[in-house]
Structure 1
Amino acid sequence: MAELSKDDLTAVSSLRAAVLRLSRRLRHQRVDESLSPTEMSVLGTLTRCGSATPGELARKEHVQPPSMTRIVAMLEAKGLVSREPHPDDRRQIVVSQTEQAEAILEESRRRRNAWLAELASGLTEDEWRKLREAAPILEKLAEM
């Protein structure tokens, strides 16, 4: 990538700060305060990607495998994930979310969407249009 201009560096800095502040505020809209942000993230990954091994979850969540093993154990103790033998490799397990986890995530999404929609109601039509256009680009950045 080419060297960024001063205006581009300012925009990158502004975007970073805004995304961090918005993310922090969204985290406060949690349904279940007993779940850590990391645990919620793992459940969200299982929703998006389906069942996975702890190693796959560790890679997707950018944590070390031993950390993921502990996270999975805590989620299992709370009844939010189940562990089953891997269909092709009996040395491994596959982690799946439970219906209880799906309900928590659905309520969390509903609550966060309502909060964000309330914020967005203060935008002008032009700002709202630009935000709708930017959403797929932000999603792409989040997946990179």
Structure 2
Amino acid sequence: MRLLYRHLRSLSLQFIFVLIIVIAMTTSRDPASEPAVVIASELRELVGRLKQRLRRESGNHGLSLSQMAALGRLYRCDTATVSDLARAQNVRSQSMGHAVAHLQSAGLVESRADPEDGRRTLLSLTPLGRERVETIRAARDGWLYRTIEDRFDREEQLILAQAVQLLSRLTED
């Protein structure tokens, strides 16, 4: 189980959602008998519900979804501009600028001039911001780990581990 948990921990949260959903689908019926379009639709719906559940389990800590996404991106990338964050979330730079301003006023994000291009401003997490992201992730990981332990027997957990390998192909370019 520790090996499975290490694999799951190293994956992105969204990838884990997909993984859990595929397992849930395979345990209730034979997905090979359904057209891919039906599987895709059910998978999308289940991913949405699982994302909502994980958000509920970790709490929002007074942050909007956009702000939480920006913190997560900065955690993974170390630095980014407001435009980088906006592009990653598919929102306008102005909207992301408002989200970042809130994060800065909360002491979670700091900015500095780009050493290679002084016209650009680079954003990064403060120690408090890094701690906040890690707290949120730990709550989500803990809930997910406990839920896997409680709801899947050893054989299903092994299937889940195999599904990690299969689902990784969905994220390949």
TM class by smaller structure: 0.7 to 0.9
- CA deviation digits over 1:104-140, x for unaligned, max 9? 1111111111111111111122322222233355566
Over 3 Å counting, the alpha-carbon distance change for 1:138 and 1:81 in structure 2 is farther
Return 5+ residue gaps in structure 2 as ranges: 1-32
Q: Tell me the distance in 2 between the aligned counterparts of 1:18 and 1:75.
A: 30
- 2:144 pairs with 1:126: no
Letter in 1 for 2:124: S
Q: Relative contact order (C-alpha < 8 Å, sep 6+): which is higher?
A: 2
Match of 2:90 in 1: 62
Please give the secondary structure, in 1, of the residue aligned with 2:133.
helix
Per-residue CA distance 1:88-114 (angstroms, 9 max, x = gap):
222210000110011111111111111
Moved more, 17-26 or 32-41: 32-41
User: 1:18 matched to which residue of 2?
Assistant: 46
Report SS of the residue matched to 1:95.
Answer: strand
Q: Give the corresponding residue for 2:164.
A: 135
Partner of 2:120: 92
Deviations 1:2-51 (A, max 9, x none): xxx95212211221111111111001123553111211111110111120
TM-score (norm 1): 0.86
The 1:109–1:129 alpha-carbon spacing in structure 2 relative to 1, beyond 3 Å, is same
2:17 alignment partner in structure 1: none
Structure 1 residue 71 displacement after superposition = 1.1
- Where does the alignment leave 5 or more consecutive residues of structure 1 unmatched? none
Give distance in 2, aligned partners of 1:12 and 1:138: 13
Taking the aligned partners of 1:44 and 1:27, their CA distance within structure 2 comes to 13
Does the 8 Å contact 2:113/2:120 carry over to 1?
yes
Aligned-pair identity (%): 34
CA separation of 1:39 and 1:143: change in aligned 2, threshold 3 A: farther
Distance 1:143 1:51, change over 3 A: farther
User: Aligned partners of 1:143 and 1:114: how far apart in 2?
Assistant: 27
Per the normalisation by structure 2, the TM-score is 0.72
Alignment partner, residue 4 of structure 2: none
